Structures are given as C-alpha cells and as structure tokens.
Amino acid sequence: MAFLPSWVCVLVGCFSVSLAGPSNLSDLEPPLWKDSPGQLSDYRVENSMYIINPWVYLERMGMYKILLNQTARYFAKFAPENEQNILWGLPLQYGWQYRTGRLADPTRRTNCGYESGDLMCVSVDSWWADLNYFLCSLPFLAAVDSGIMGISSDQVNLLPPPKNQRKFCYNVSSCHSSFPETMSKWNIFYQHLQSPFSKFDDLLKYLWTAHTSTLADTIKSFEDRDMDESGKHHPQQTDTRAENETPHILTHRYDYYSKTEAHFERSWVVAVEYIAAVHFPTTLIRTYNFQKGLPPRILVTTDVAPFINDFTTFQNVVLLLLNMLGNMDKSTGYLCTEKPNEYSSHLESSSRDYGNNS
C-alpha cells in the first residue's frame, strides 16, 4: 500500500490527458442510450409493479438512464446538461463492456451477446455482466428506496437470469436483506445528494464508498470456486431448480476467459480500489476520456502490453500499468483472492509477460 500515491498519480495522470471539451455531449453517451427506456412507464407493468429484465442490454441501460434523469436536478448546480452527474461512470462503464464484447457469453455455449445471435442479450456467465448487475441494481433500487424515483419501494421487480438465480437479488427488500451494508451506503449517498448543502467532493466520497462496498460485497460469489450456488445468503436452501450444471463448474467465472483477460479482470478490481481512493470524478467527460485507455476488445492469450498492435499507445500503456498494479497487489497479498495453484501458474505467466515487480 506504500506504493499507492505514486501509482495513482501515474494512472490518474494517464486518465486525465486530452480533456478538451467535446462539441456535443450527446456524442459521449454510451451505445444505444437514445434507444433505452427513459422512464419507468416504458417498462412492462404487472399488478402495478414495474418489471425490468436487466439481462437485456437496453433494459439494464434504461435503469441507468432513468437514474441519471432523476438525479439530474441535484447536479444542475454544478454544470448544465447533467455533465457533472457523477453517476455517469456506471452507464459509461456498462456501455464499454457492451462495445468491447464483454457482456457476451464467454463460454460460447450460447449466442447470447453475439452479433450473429442475440446481440442484446447480457450473459449471466460474463464476469463483467455479473459485477455490473450489482453496480446497476443496487444503486437503482436504493434510489427507489430513497424516494428519488417517485415510486414506492415495492413497485419494482427485476427478472432473474436463466440460471444462477440465487446469486442475485431482485427488489428493494431482497437486496436489503442480502446486502444490508451496501444498500445503506447507497442510501447514504442519496441522502447527501438530496441535501441542498452537499458539496461535489463529498458526494464523490459517498459514491465511491458505496461503489467499493458493492464490489467487496458481491465479487466473492464469483470467485469462490467451491462455494455452493446458494452462497452465503441462503445457507439452508437446497432448492436447485433452474440449475442444470454442477456448482463448481459455474461459479468460477475467471475460467471462462484467456489468462490475459482474467488477469486484467483481477487487476481492474484492484485499480478500482485505487481510483476510488483518489475519488476520481466520474462525470461524463472525465469518464469518457478515461475509457479511451481501456482495452477495446476482450484480451486473448497472445496480447502482451505494451506491444498490442491494434491498441493505441494510450491503451497499451494503461493495460501495462493495470497489469503491474495487479501483480503488485498479488505480491503483497492485498486482496488475497486467488487459490494457491492458480496463484503460482498465474504469477509465472505474468512474470514472463510483464516482469516480476515484487
């Protein structure tokens, strides 16, 4: 952790280049933003309940769009056109995942998320899509709970994915009981947001607290290979309906990717901790520029930063830094997320590729 200041400076320094303002902010919106639902009434209603299917790209994006729309009034004092809304980071990141093929089924057992198949499908086997699920549903449902959406807490239900249903939560009350601390951190963010005296920097602090809590609370369920499908939240349940595979096959998402992509995923989680620590301002323009440095496609085994031909220099340098950050984290055991056997094989490959930083 002693490395933190210098590494963050390097990373944020990269992410801050080319801050020239765009001529038209709508060019920076995530893919298909205009086609996504913009109000709750655009969704299906059943028994006076809004039903949202977050496993469809546009429907999940619509949750963000409504969230951005409903919170715009609190950011109007900082800049026009909702540009300073710090919730932009979430839909932009989700849009990057879509554009780079990261929401598609990494196992390729289905055509979910592929152009040749169902492009709008968001795969439950995608590590990115699963983490993003929580970074969408929890902030969205907490906003409902905080009264920001103008409906009552029991008026929204999300639809489950085709499998792994018990890893997720689907409405305000069930998300509260599965992730009480994280939900309350999002609620705290919205409380401060609604205060007329809130300062931009304080809002950023509360946002990042809720964001990192969301990751810490939910990522475990995609890392523990041997964890039973029911997870820690329903230890007594034995019901396995809708599960047609053995748990140890489906719980370890990293196995579905190349070593380089899996390493990038782990490094990304570490990087987010650092980005959170410096309260990176996730406004529209800042996030957009930051994302120009992220890998524009899923990494394959032969990708070695900073020598990837179809990446820009900026993308190569950012990936190199992120990988080094991930290696450093491993050598200090900061997150301790890997099993010993994977640890050694992984370290071996990363040392070969990137040099051992320990």
* Contact status: 38 vs ligand NAG (CB under 6 A): yes
- Taking the least distance from each CB to ligand NAG, the nearer of 146 and 174 is 174
Structure tokens belonging to residue 341: 């056997």
Residues with Cβ within 8 Å of 200's Cβ and at least 6 positions away in sequence, in order, are 78, 84, 86, 281
State whether the Cα torsion 276-277-283-285 is positive or negative.
negative
Q: CB of residue 64 vs ligand NAG: minimum separation in angstroms? A: 12
Q: CB of residue 170 vs ligand NAG: minimum separation in angstroms? A: 4
Q: CB of residue 76 vs ligand NAG: minimum separation in angstroms? A: 8
Q: CB of residue 274 vs ligand NAG: minimum separation in angstroms? A: 31
Closest CA to 123 of 178, 81, 164, 177: 164
- Taking the least distance from each CB to ligand NAG, the nearer of 33 and 222 is 33
- Sole binder of ligand NAG in the list 55, 57, 170, 256 (CB under 6 A): 170
* Contact status: 26 vs ligand NAG (CB under 6 A): yes
* Contact status: 173 vs ligand NAG (CB under 6 A): yes
Residues for the chain: how many in total? 358
Q: Which stretch binds ligand NAG (CB under 6 A): 5-13, 168-176, 216-224, 236-244?
A: 168-176
Structure tokens belonging to residue 344: 């050694």
* Contact status: 171 vs ligand NAG (CB under 6 A): yes
- Cα separation, 64 vs 66, in Å, equals 5
Query: What H or E segment, with its residue span, contains residue 158?
Result: strand 156-158
- Sole binder of ligand NAG in the list 14, 58, 72, 215 (CB under 6 A): 72
Q: What is the CA radius of gyration of the chain?
A: 20
- Taking the least distance from each CB to ligand NAG, the nearer of 28 and 104 is 28
* Contact status: 85 vs ligand NAG (CB under 6 A): no
The three-class DSSP label of residue 96 is helix
* Contact status: 240 vs ligand NAG (CB under 6 A): no
Structure tokens belonging to residue 130: 């699963």
- Sole binder of ligand NAG in the list 100, 110, 157, 230 (CB under 6 A): 157
- The one-letter amino acid at 42: D
Alpha carbon distances (Å) from 119 to 41, 50, 229: 24, 24, 27
Structure tokens belonging to residue 184: 């309350």
- Taking the least distance from each CB to ligand NAG, the nearer of 33 and 189 is 33
# residues near ligand NAG by CB under 6 A:
13
Strand 49-52 versus strand 44-46 pairing type: antiparallel
Q: Which stretch binds ligand NAG (CB under 6 A): 54-62, 169-177, 287-295, 296-304?
A: 169-177
SS3 of 223-261: the string is: CCCCCCCCCCCCCCCCCCCCCCCCHHHHCCHHHHCCHHH
Binding site residues, ligand NAG, CB under 6 A: 24, 26, 38-39, 69, 72, 82, 154, 157, 170-171, 173-174
